[in-house]
Amino acid sequence: MHTQSDRYPPISPKCPHMLHGGDYNPDQWPTEVWAEDMRLMKAAGCNAMSVGIFAWSRLEPQEGQYEFGWLDRIMDMLAENDAFAILATPSAARPAWLDARYPECCKVTAEGQRRDHGMRHNFCWSSPAFREKVTAINTRLAERYGTHPALLMWHVSNEYGGEGSGAPCYCELCQAWFRDWLRDRYDNDIETLNHAWWTAFWSSRYESFDQIDAPGPLGERAIHGLTLDWKRFNTHQAIDFYRHETSTLKRITPDVSCTTNFMWAFEPQDYWQWANEVDIVSWDGYPGWHCRGDDVREAAGAAFNHDLFRSLKAGRPFMLMESVPSVTSWFPVCKLKRPGMHKLSSLLAIAHGSDTVQYFQWRKSRGATEKFFGAVVDHVGHEDTRVFGDVAELGRVLKKLDGVVGTTVRSEVAVLFDWPTRWAVSAMSGLGHRHRNYLGTCMQHHAAFWTMGIGVDVIDQTVALDEYRLAVLPMLYMLRPGMAEKIERFVADGGTAVMTYWSGIVDEHDLCHLGGWPGGGLRKVFGVWDEETDAICEDDVQRLVLSEGNELGLAGEYEIHQLCALIHAEGATVAGTYGEDFYAGRPALTVNHYGDGKAWYVAARTGQDFLDDLYGRLASDLGLRRTLDATLPQGVTARMRTNGETDYVFVMNFTDAVAGVDLGETTFADVVNGGEVAGRLALPAYGVAILSRPAVEA
């Protein structure tokens, strides 16, 4: 929970407003269109453009021959037009001369094959030649533009680890680095590693660190400790490369912030390890509006990510660095954003703590793979398009949100979503492949709070729990060092924890806890022993039957799908039992009073209906702060940002029908349209209102 009453500083002191703009590639266009770009940017209310992300071959067309003239002009034009540059380092895509001269820059695949030149993001993190060339270009960029009035901040590379699903490089340099990293991690003691990785299995014992190779299709992939450490190492490598890039920028421009754009809960990189590396968190969000079935679920998924990226820096506003103004070109079905959705989806990010709405891309590329990817400026070339109109309308709204800049979201609830746990769950063999769904499960628990309009942080195991009142721990399969103790203290001190099936099973090396699950001492905190787990087939339905007079005060039955843990209550009170099969009548939901707090154990995978009801009751019992007091209609949520003096309330309708929202007793100011709003708020389909009120204290 964040209690600060002052606002955070803006993304850059140069521009204390909401940032609006996006990836701008003037290097792809003749100079004649640049002036028109500037005019259109003004018309769209854009003030911050990401420039030069993939421009290396225009900046250094031949090795050591730099051409900055075009960028000088663009920087000047931005400054002349009261706009700023989020200036990129160009490492994400390499010029042909570089790979031809230094083939070691290209990644090696897991099969040991050096990749050819082409595509982007596919460089080797270790290559000394690549690092040297990156330093050379970054130095020149920093020296040339460090004091330029248009320079707002550094956009370091692009989506580190992206393309090719973040496949790492397996070259000899990377493998050697991995071995050194392991030596460090295991105190240079191979027997410590052998124990941690349980290498007695299948005669996998190593006699020396030199014998270890990265896991891959041609070699070892049954040792989960190895798989996990390789994943951890991949994050370490990417961060090391980021430090390499930023060391130059920080030396020459110490006062200019650096960021690199993250991706939608991106599996290969543990973004919590990144949290202190970047000055500002930024991410690229591409929800599949209208085309993946359910916009409300899609919005909740985007909200999960927004909450995660805000939580990385304990509530500090983040940047939505990329989003699409109309439609992506790579969804299975590329459906256009319906009227209203552009403003709504953009303000969803703001409501969750973004201080920017940036796009990919400003002007639709004329050729190559992104030529049909949504853009502010279409191939038609003028502003009389539906999409441009939507963007310009949003621009007008953002101009009215100066007061929101730097405010934060307060959360009394934390949902735990942890990268090493996720890696371990996907590496393991068990439960059934489709049943694991760790990310989806965390999102489901999070969605229950999002629907109620209750602020929630998405944290990992490194974050302290003390300031939260409710800790939600879905599928806490892995207990990293200190986590069990943290939960124990949290509950003993009066917190409420909800943990599910498949928790407390392994330690940080993926070695199973012995002596009954949940391990690490959590068996006594939750008062249960989780003996075995039944994974039921897709069409099978189990039932959760709530016990009469249970502590939740809920009655009735709920469906259970996929996973059912067979638990024993060892001190916990049974609040619900199974209704079917040979374990009918055994506990499926329990609560243990431990110290001053309560520890709930949800033994089975229910649908969203039960989670909504469970957390609805807990929210009432705990008196958790809701953005609006009244129950919100289906598909409508309300989020709040505050600076302790003013609350900014975003009421958002993700359905295609008009919705009426009860505002209770409060009279709000309408931040965008002016005037007052009270009583019942009518929101059109995909409508959004931004209201303010004097801050309501907890």
Q: Is 36 exposed, middle or buried (CB count within 10 Å of its CB: 0-12, 13-18, 19+)?
A: middle
CB of 260 to ligand GAL, least distance (A): 11
The yes or no reply on residue 370 touching ligand GAL (CB under 6 A) is yes
360 binds ligand GAL (CB under 6 A): yes
Task: Please give the residues from 605 up to 664 whose contact with ligand GAL meets the rule CB under 6 A.
Answer: none
Contact 128, 288 (CB under 8 A): no
Query: Which position among 104, 159, 412, 488 bears the catalytic label?
Result: 159
Tell me the closest approach of the beta carbon of residue 331 to ligand GAL, in angstroms: 10
Nearby residues of 69 by Cβ (< 8 Å), 6 or more positions away: none
State the nearest-atom distance from the C-beta of 92 to ligand GAL, in Å.
8
Q: Are 335 and 434 in contact (CB under 8 A)?
A: no
Alpha carbons within 13 angstroms on the beta-carbon side of residue 349 total 30
Number of residues that bind ligand GAL (CB under 6 A): 7
CA 184 to chain centre: 29
194 CB burial (10 A radius; 0-12, 13-18, 19+): middle
Residue 258's SS3 state is: strand
CA distance 582 to 578: 9
Nearer to ligand GAL, 345 or 421 (CB): 345
Region of residue 212 (left: phi > 0; alpha: psi -120 to 50; beta: else) = beta
Q: Is 227 in the site for ligand GAL (CB under 6 A)?
A: no
Among 99, 159, 457, 530, contact with ligand GAL (rule: CB under 6 A): 159
Nearest residue by C-beta to ligand GAL? 360
Helix pair angle (386-398, 341-351), 10° resolution? 30
Task: Provide, rounded to whole angstroms, the least separation between the CB of residue 539 and ligand GAL.
Answer: 37
Q: How far is the CB of 87 from ligand GAL (least distance, A)?
A: 15
Distance separating the N- and C-terminal Cα atoms of the chain: 11
- Containing H/E element for 447? helix 438-452
Instruction: Show the DSSP H helices in 502-602 as ranges.
Output: 522-526
The residue from 373, 419, 449, 450 that contacts ligand GAL (CB under 6 A) is 373
Angle (CA) 490-492-498 rounded to 5° is 55
Q: Given the complex with ligand GAL, which of 162 and 453 has the nearer CB atom?
A: 162
Q: Which is nearer to ligand GAL, 245 or 322 (CB)?
A: 322
- Tell me whether residue 341 or residue 475 sits nearer to ligand GAL (CB atom): 341
Nearer to ligand GAL, 374 or 587 (CB): 374
In the complex, least distance from residue 300 CB atom to ligand GAL, rounded to whole angstroms: 21
- The correct pick among 245, 284, 378, 508 for binding ligand GAL (CB under 6 A) is 284
Does residue number 27 form part of the binding site for ligand GAL (CB under 6 A)?
A: no
Considering the complex, what minimum distance in angstroms separates the CB of residue 336 from ligand GAL?
A: 16
Nearer to ligand GAL, 305 or 500 (CB): 305
Least Cβ distance, residue 125 to ligand GAL (angstroms):
18
Cβ(500)–Cβ(475) below 8 Å: yes
CA gap 376, 391 in Å, rounded: 7
- For position 158 contacting ligand GAL by CB under 6 A, the verdict is yes
Q: Which is nearer to ligand GAL, 304 or 373 (CB)?
A: 373
Measured in whole angstroms, the distance separating CA 523 from the mean position of its chain's CA atoms is 31
> Nearest distance from residue 318's CB to ligand GAL, in Å?
16
Q: How far is the CB of 359 from ligand GAL (least distance, A)?
A: 10
Decide whether 290 or 436 has the Cβ nearer to ligand GAL. Answer: 290
Question: Is residue 159 annotated as part of the catalytic site, yes or no?
Answer: yes
CB atoms within 10 A of CB 177: 18
Q: Which is nearer to ligand GAL, 283 or 558 (CB)?
A: 283
Site string for ligand GAL, 100-139 (x = CB under 6 A): ----------------------------------------
Are the C-beta atoms of residues 40 and 81 closer than 8 Å to each other?
A: no
Which of these is catalytic: 60, 104, 245, 322?
322
Query: For the chain, what is the radius of gyration of the CA atoms?
Result: 26
> Helix 69-80 and helix 32-44: axis angle, to 10°?
30
Is residue 56 close enough to count as binding ligand GAL by CB under 6 A? no
Binding mask 299-338 for ligand GAL (x = CB under 6 A): -----------------------x----------------
Q: Which is nearer to ligand GAL, 324 or 691 (CB)?
A: 324
452: left (phi over 0), alpha (psi -120 to 50) or beta: alpha
Q: How many angstroms separate the CA atoms of 502 and 506, rounded?
A: 10
CA atoms of 582 and 595, how far apart (whole Å) = 34
Q: Which residues of this protein are in contact with ligand GAL, per CB under 6 A? A: 158-159, 284, 322, 360, 370, 373
Q: Which residues are catalytic?
A: 159, 322
